[in-house]
Structure 1
Amino acid sequence: MPRGDAAGLPPTGWAVLGLLSFRGGRTGYELKKWADSSLRFFYWSPAISQIYAELRRLESLGFATSRRSGPEEPRATRRYTITEAGRDALAAWADGAGDPGTPVLKHPLVLRVWLGHLAAPGTLRTLVEQHIERTRGELEEIRDARLRAEQAERAEEWAFPRVALSWSERRQLAELELAEAMLEDLDGLGEAGRGTCDVPPPQE
């Protein structure tokens, strides 16, 4: 059986295996729903097609196993569980001393603001206000998820997910603060900088 560091799993594979590491078997659909209410707050939520692709990979490596509830049932009723080999591989990966990597920042709103010299007056302010409302909604979802983790049976098993959700809550609070400051910055600009933006030539 391949070791965890030799399995060649992409980060999404480790994330799906991580979802399986908690108690109970789950269908691909259930894993997707859980990823949408947990992983996406601090990493990202894979598409359902990616989840099934990773589940097939995990099964081929012996890291997961599955069973159907009946021979004629559709794929959605196949339940997946982690194997001992999968748990050992995941533990080796989670406990590894290697650099997890640099966070990748892709902020579509800031990209639009960067091109604000080409935007109509008021457009950017509207976009930022919408982003603030969306962020407030995300914050409420995170708080709901953390509350469910706190009230779950065997709450001690959810201690580390609660830490991740607490980080996610603080991040969204910081995002709100940054967006509100951006509104003030935009208001301070007025009509300055609109139109064609002359970029100075690069220094030799």
Structure 2
Amino acid sequence: MAKKKAVDDADGAERPALPATSWAVLGLLSFGEELSGYDLKKWSDWSLRFFYWSPSFSQIYSELKRLEQAGYATSRMVAQETGTRDKRVYRITGEGMEAVRTWAREAPVDPPVLKHGPMLRLWLGHLLEIQQMREVLARHREFAETMRQRAEEDMEGAKANEAWSYPTLTLKWAERYYASERDLAEAMLADIEELERGKRP
């Protein structure tokens, strides 16, 4: 498939039209460190997964290849200890830094699209037993609390790195978001109880 080109409105230069996944991976590299694919996966699990998604290893390596082809990243092999395979590490280029900066400043911001599995199941509550709906919401409440705790832990860890001040804020947002999801699940359980009381003779 031919590589599509997009025109940058700021300077008129042609740049590859990359998907959001590419920009997210390039964004991870924009913090200035030389990172392996494993590092990038770990960093995305520490931050991106709480508000966007966490790419698989195969997605990360596909995007790194795309970014190298675009001239936005470079890589090199680094020798490891005896008995351990050498690893490839990646670094953002000056052109890549400028491209991701332009994208962050000028690309339209897509509104969030909510795909809420528990609410879809509750919407079909007339097809379920009441206990099933309680279990769906109880599991979601537990999931939300687990994610809240993890976001809080990762936020505390990120505070130590000054370069991660803004990712720390997104983790703070995630902690609040999952707390609200937990509380909403609790409120919905109460709503179900009230609904059932109203149906009883």
Q: Output aligned runs, 1:47-86, within 5 Å.
A: 47-70=56-79, 77-86=87-96
Q: Does 1:90 pair with 2:96? A: no
Query: How far off its partner does 1:167 sit?
Result: 1.4
Structure 1 or 2: larger strand share? Answer: 2
SS in 2 for 1:80: strand
Specify the alignment match of 1:142 in structure 2.
151
- Unaligned 5+ runs, structure 1: 194-204
More relative contact order, 1 or 2 (CA 8 Å, 6+ apart): 1
Task: Tell me the alpha carbon deviations over residues 29-57 of structure 1, each in whole angstroms, 9 at most, x when there is no partner.
Answer: 11111111110101111111111110000
- Unaligned 5+ runs, structure 2: 9-14
User: RMSD value over aligned CA atoms?
Assistant: 2.3
Specify the alignment match of 1:106 in structure 2.
115
- Following the alignment from structure 1 to structure 2, what is the Cα–Cα distance between the partners of residues 4 and 82? 21
Specify the alignment match of 2:191 in structure 1.
185
Specify the alignment match of 2:12 in structure 1.
none
SS in 1 for 2:24: helix
Task: Tell me the alpha carbon deviations over residues 154-182 of structure 1, each in whole angstroms, 9 at most, x when there is no partner.
Answer: x2x22111121111122112112211111
- Following the alignment from structure 1 to structure 2, what is the Cα–Cα distance between the partners of residues 86 and 144? 31
Q: Does 1:171 pair with 2:180? A: no
- Following the alignment from structure 1 to structure 2, what is the Cα–Cα distance between the partners of residues 28 and 4? 29
Q: Does 1:45 pair with 2:51? A: no
The normalised TM-score by structure 1 is 0.84
- Following the alignment from structure 2 to structure 1, what is the Cα–Cα distance between the partners of residues 141 and 157? 25
Q: Would the aligned equivalents of 1:26 and 1:81 in 2 still touch at CA under 8 Å?
A: yes
Q: Output aligned runs, 1:17-28, within 5 Å.
A: 17-28=26-37
- Following the alignment from structure 1 to structure 2, what is the Cα–Cα distance between the partners of residues 182 and 27? 43
Q: Would the aligned equivalents of 1:64 and 1:80 in 2 still touch at CA under 8 Å?
A: yes
Task: Tell me the alpha carbon deviations over residues 122-155 of structure 1, each in whole angstroms, 9 at most, x when there is no partner.
Answer: 0110111111111111011101111011123xx2
Query: How far off its partner does 1:105 sit?
Result: 0.7
Q: Across the two proteins, how many residue pairs are aligned to each other?
A: 187
Task: Tell me the alpha carbon deviations over residues 171-201 of structure 1, each in whole angstroms, 9 at most, x when there is no partner.
Answer: 11211221111111111122878xxxxxxxx
